[in-house]
């Protein structure tokens, strides 16, 4: 997983720019945060808006266009990156880099960064075999830059030979391997983490059900974070419109009863259980086999309580660390402290769903973490992937302190 890895993609001018769009998409899907710098030539092939949509970040192309007056853009980007990739890298930019030239946003940032830089060339086969180009590549290799060899095949110019930008899937795999060694000492390696996410649906009849507005985004982010920290992660999900996170075992359920059964089947050997699903508190006492027909006047549906999954887990708890979520509309901390105690939880993460900075369906969230040890830790509004990682790290740190 590349969760929260910061990758700066420098895009230079060539027809292979279209592959760079796919590269941004695949890196983002793998959990990385991607920012893009384009040369003026690159903009002739693909607009900055395309990269902005795929990365969900501003795209940079003008050294003198400072989007944030508090920082100098090219220095800030140079310091921000965990890894810099130049793709596609033209013969021109390779020549500039080899000679320390900095006459645009890309080359200025490349001179300023201390992060590892990868170069993925793409050009005509004869250009790639030119002595000057080979000399520049050799110079950069000796300076510590890593090259992603171009592949052979049909080129846009009509030639067949070496010069095609490596496929985005292969570049992403190389990036994964680059960060793989960091996962050998991850804090959740060897642990099993169970996460529940999304809403449940309680059927009224074959075409209607009772549910809620949960999107599942926070639970899916927690599952991604657990996997990124090395855990064997089981995600038990109600019906959502989200892609399965990589490296996670996904169990799909619909009703509260199905979610209870799934959680109990995974509970015994779990190290941490994070119950972020918005489970229905009530279900129709009777489920109609046929569609209920409209009638004159009012109608009513008799409801019965569903099993309180979190309370059940609290009663059964042995060595598991049990983490609950509480979505409230007022006094979130007060209600959270009550649930923490009454349901025998180790932690509860509370948020006010009326807060415009978070809540159902939002890509950001603002929460407060409460623990059985009495700590209260508020978190600023932030993107859910980043927040999930911070929450898990905070929980693990507190667990270590109280062992």
- Beta pairing partners, 362: none
Give me the catalytic one of 53, 71, 157, 316.
157
CA 55 to chain centre: 12
Residue 343 labeled ligand binder: yes
Contact (Cβ atoms closer than 8 angstroms) between residue 111 and residue 100: yes
- Helix 168-180 with 17-29: angle, nearest 10 deg: 40
Q: What's the full length of the chain, in residues?
A: 403
Answer yes or no: is 325 a known binding residue. yes
Q: At what angle do helices 309-316 and 256-267 cross, to 10 degrees?
A: 20
The reply to whether 281 sits in an annotated binding site is yes
**Does the annotation flag 341 for ligand binding?**
no
Pairing of strands 83-89, 116-121: parallel
User: How many CB atoms sit inside 10 A of residue 31's CB?
Assistant: 21
Residue 20, both tokens: 């760079």
Q: What contacts 103, CB < 8 A, 6 or more positions away?
A: 96
Q: If you write DSSP's letter for every residue of 3-35 in order, what string do you get?
A: TT-EEEEEE-SSTTHHHHHHHHHHHHHTT-EEE
10 included as an active-site residue:
no
Coil vs helix vs strand at 249: strand
Annotated binding site for CTP: 281, 291, 325, 339, 343
The residues annotated as belonging to the active site are: 157
Annotated binding site: 281, 291, 325, 339, 343
């Amino acid at each position: 997983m590349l969760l929260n890895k910061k990758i700066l993609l420098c895009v230079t001018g060539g027809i292979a720019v279209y592959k760079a769009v796919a590269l941004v998409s695949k890196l983002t899907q793998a959990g990385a945060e991607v920012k893009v710098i384009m040369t003026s030539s690159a903009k002739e092939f693909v607009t900055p808006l395309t990269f902005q949509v795929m990365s969900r970040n501003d795209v940079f192309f003008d050294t003198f266009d400072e989007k944030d007056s508090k920082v100098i853009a090219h220095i800030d980007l140079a310091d921000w990156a965990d890894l810099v990739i130049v793709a596609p890298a033209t013969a021109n930019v390779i020549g500039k880099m080899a000679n320390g030239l900095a006459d645009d946003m890309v080359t200025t940032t490349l001179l300023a960064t201390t992060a590892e830089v990868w170069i993925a060339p793409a050009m005509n086969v004869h250009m790639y075999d030119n002595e000057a180009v080979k000399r520049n590549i050799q110079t950069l290799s000796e300076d510590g830059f890593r090259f992603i060899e171009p592949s052979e095949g049909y080129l846009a110019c009509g030639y067949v030979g070496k010069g095609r930008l490596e496929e985005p899937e292969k570049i992403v795999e190389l990036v994964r391997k680059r960060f793989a060694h960091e996962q050998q000492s991850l804090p959740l390696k060897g642990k099993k983490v169970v996460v529940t996410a999304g809403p449940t649906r309680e059927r009224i009849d074959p075409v209607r059900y009772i549910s809620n507005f949960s999107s599942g985004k926070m639970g899916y982010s927690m599952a991604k974070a657990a996997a990124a920290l090395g855990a064997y992660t089981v995600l038990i999900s109600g019906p959502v419109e989200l892609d399965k996170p990589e490296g996670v075992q996904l169990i799909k359920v619909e009703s509260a009863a199905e979610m209870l059964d799934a959680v109990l089947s995974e509970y015994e050997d779990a190290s941490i259980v994070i119950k972020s699903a918005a489970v229905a508190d009530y279900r129709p006492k009777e489920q109609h086999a046929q569609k209920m027909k409209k009638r004159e006047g009012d109608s009513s549906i008799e409801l019965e309580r569903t099993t309180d999954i979190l309370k059940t887990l609290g009663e059964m708890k042995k060595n598991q660390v049990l983490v609950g979520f509480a979505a409230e509309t007022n006094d979130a901390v007060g209600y959270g402290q009550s649930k923490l105690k009454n349901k025998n939880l180790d932690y509860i993460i509370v948020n006010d769903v009326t807060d415009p900075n978070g809540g159902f369906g939002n890509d950001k969230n603002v929460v407060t973490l409460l623990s059985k040890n009495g700590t209260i830790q508020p978190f600023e509004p932030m993107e859910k992937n980043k927040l999930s990682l911070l929450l898990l790290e905070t929980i693990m740190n507190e667990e270590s302190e109280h062992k």
